[in-house]
């Protein structure tokens, strides 16, 4: 593993008597793709919410590049370099790709909408937005409204929104959800390229993509991390097969 970028210690989130995340320990190396897998209800998305700051933890700690961000609100985590995508695509449907991403650049820059003219007149901000769009391969679609894009392209726009905040840690929650084979292949290739730019925590149910992409995998069951290892070790683990993957899924 590379030097740790993200260190999670004994992280807990309770809902009544249920532990959605049960004293989770997690170490993610810099520029690593670290996948979180497990059955529905295992606590994967809850953990992503805790890492992003959209859900407060009941106990435990989160350290990012040596800084304790456990009590930091989500907007400050974004400024510190933590960005995320969501299970359900969330873009402004009637805005162009460029306009969508420019809004994320404005939020990161702190400029808001304090312009006497159009933010499109601020060339440095537009250049930043175009850079994020280029990273996801949508340069030819920058003036197309988001509603006119395919589902896969909209998912790439959402990743561009995250990239526009210049993240050091990118949290991807089921980026392949709802995609056909062609879009899936393009998204997997994109995620492979993005590890050059950021550490990635990936939640995904497509096991083929997980085993192709991940440097390491953590398996969650009932809120607990039951295993963390390389894809090959996870694939051959009897404990993991019994708890989640099943014999057929690992052949």
Confidence bin at 110 (pLDDT 50/70/90): low
Task: Check whether 251 has a pLDDT greater than 50.
Answer: no
172/83 Cα distance (integer angstroms):
9
Confidence bin at 135 (pLDDT 50/70/90): very high
88/155 Cα distance (integer angstroms):
9
DSSP state of 245: I
Whole-number pLDDT of residue 85: 86
The average confidence (pLDDT) of the chain is 90
- State the average pLDDT over residues 176-202: 93
Residue ranges per domain, the chain? 1-81+168-251, 89-166
Whole-number pLDDT of residue 121: 64
Q: What is the C-alpha radius of gyration for the chain, rounded to an integer number of angstroms? A: 18
Task: Check whether 185 has a pLDDT greater than 70.
Answer: yes
- List, for residues 55-92, the tens digit of each pLDDT value: 999 999 999 999 999 999 999 999 899 999 876 677 88
95/143 Cα distance (integer angstroms):
9
State the CATH architecture for 1-81+168-251: 3-Layer(aba) Sandwich (3.40)
Q: How far is CA 116 from the centre of its chain?
A: 35
Adjacency order of strands within the sheet including 4-15:
18-29, 4-15, 59-64, 67-68
The DSSP annotation for 25-44 comes to EEEEETT-EEEEE-STTSSH
- State the average pLDDT over residues 123-132: 92
Q: How many residues are given for the chain?
A: 251
Confidence bin at 249 (pLDDT 50/70/90): very low
Q: Mention every residue, 6+ apart, whose C-beta is less than 8 A from residue 115.
A: 121, 122
Whole-number pLDDT of residue 245: 58
Whole-number pLDDT of residue 248: 44
Whole-number pLDDT of residue 250: 42
Task: Check whether 176 has a pLDDT greater than 80.
Answer: yes
The 3 state secondary structure assigned to 189-241 is HHHHHHCCCCEEEEECCCHHHHHHHCCEEEEEECCEEEEEECHHHHHCCHHHH
Task: Check whether 131 has a pLDDT greater than 90.
Answer: yes
- List, for residues 194-225, the tens digit of each pLDDT value: 999 999 999 999 999 999 999 999 999 999 99
Whole-number pLDDT of residue 147: 94
Is 30:5 a contact under the CB 8 Å cutoff? Answer: yes
Six-digit token string for 57: 């933890």
Q: What percent of the chain has pLDDT over 70?
A: 90
**Strands, DSSP E only, in the chain?**
4-15, 18-29, 33-37, 59-64, 67-68, 82-84, 169-173, 199-203, 216-221, 224-229
Lookup result for tokens 């006497």: 116
Cα-based angle 27, 184, 136 (whole degrees, multiple of 5): 75
């Amino acid at each position: 593993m590379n030097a740790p970028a993200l260190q999670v210690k004994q992280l807990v989130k309770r809902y009544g008597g249920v532990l959605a995340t049960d004293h989770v320990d997690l170490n993610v190396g810099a520029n690593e793709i670290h996948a979180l897998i497990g059955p529905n209800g295992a606590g994967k998305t809850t953990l992503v919410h805790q890492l992003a700051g959209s859900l407060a933890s009941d106990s435990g700690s989160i350290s990012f590049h040596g800084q304790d961000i456990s009590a930091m609100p989500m907007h400050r985590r974004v400024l510190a370099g933590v960005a995320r995508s969501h299970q359900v695509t969330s873009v402004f449907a009637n805005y162009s790709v460029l306009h969508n991403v420019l809004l994320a650049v404005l939020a990161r820059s702190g400029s808001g909408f304090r312009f006497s003219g159009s933010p499109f007149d601020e060339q440095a901000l537009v250049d930043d937005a175009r850079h994020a769009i280029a990273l996801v391969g949508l340069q030819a679609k920058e003036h197309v409204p988001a509603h006119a894009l395919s589902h896969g392209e909209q998912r790439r726009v959402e990743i561009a929104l995250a990239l526009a905040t210049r993240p050091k840690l990118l949290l991807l929650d089921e980026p392949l959800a709802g995609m056909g084979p062609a879009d899936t292949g393009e998204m997997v290739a994109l995620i492979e390229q993005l590890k050059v730019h950021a550490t990635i925590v990936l939640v995904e149910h497509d096991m083929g993509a997980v085993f192709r992409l991940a440097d390491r995998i953590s398996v969650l069951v009932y809120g607990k991390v039951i295993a963390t290892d390389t894809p090959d070790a996870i694939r051959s683990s009897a404990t993991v097969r019994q708890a989640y993957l099943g014999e057929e899924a690992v052949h």
